[in-house]
Amino acid sequence: MASDLRLTVLGSATPYPAAGNPCSGYLVSGGGARVWVDAGSGTLGALQRYARLDELDAVWISHLHADHTADLLTAYYGLLYADVHREAPLPLYGPPGIADRVAAFLTHGDRRSPVERAFDVRELSDGHGARVGGLDLSAREVAHGMPAFALRVEHAGNSLVYSGDSAPCAALTELADGCGTLLCEADGDSADGVHHSPEEAGETAAAAGAGRLIVTHVGRAIEPGDAVTRAASRFAGPVAYAAPGAVFPVD
């Protein structure tokens, strides 16, 4: 069976949106499924160029920092109080405590906001696996100083791995082993224990034997082109930048 696995970049800015570039968010599609991966500020608007909330099959959140989750708040209002109609709550995969974190932002009185009416919350753990449509999803806990999970998506023999936010670590390298595409953050300018530098992104891609590297979540002190060049100094395969609106077939 041919694979139609595809990555669409909704945004890649950090730690706040840039003009024309939302924070971290991606649409992963294939096997008849569409998954919104990370919901950073501004990504819900970009998402609607490709899919409505009632056309999604799941949301997957790597960790609970606001530049990866903030648009869950407005998605909640869309799912419950606007023109979005679903037969069941939208499956939401995320770190432990995600429902209470979202509810804490949304609740304005004594009664907790009904987050579970909008989202079918499924908490991640190291090694967690799930099937969404024709996509196989698996998670590993990675090094970010808080609960954080990298994602591997597989369909018809092709694979995409997303680091989320993470320092280089064995769990990420193992998850990315032999993947076709590694989408790896490159926020740090040097080893800081919670992020990759561009060079470290290249090293992780090389260690994993990835077919291609896409650098994302590039820190504001680094030009995207420089991040690509620096990553390519440590990785012999193709390297690209996760520019907003870019679409990458995964093969």
Which DSSP letter does residue 184 get? E
Q: Are 213 and 205 in contact (CB under 8 A)?
A: yes
Cα 186 from chain centre = 14
For 201, phi then psi, to 5°, come to -60, -45
Residues written for the chain: 251
Catalytic residue among 67, 71, 165, 187: 67
Q: State how far the Cα of 139 lies from the Cα of 176, in Å rounded to an integer.
A: 11
For 26, phi then psi, to 5°, come to -145, 150
Q: State how far the Cα of 88 lies from the Cα of 126, in Å rounded to an integer.
A: 27
Residue 94 neighbours by CB under 8 Å, 6+ apart: 59, 60, 61, 64, 69, 121, 122, 123, 124
For 91, phi then psi, to 5°, come to -55, 130
Q: State how far the Cα of 248 lies from the Cα of 240, in Å rounded to an integer.
A: 10
Q: State how far the Cα of 205 lies from the Cα of 157, in Å rounded to an integer.
A: 19
Q: Does residue 67 carry a catalytic annotation?
A: yes
Catalytic residues: 67
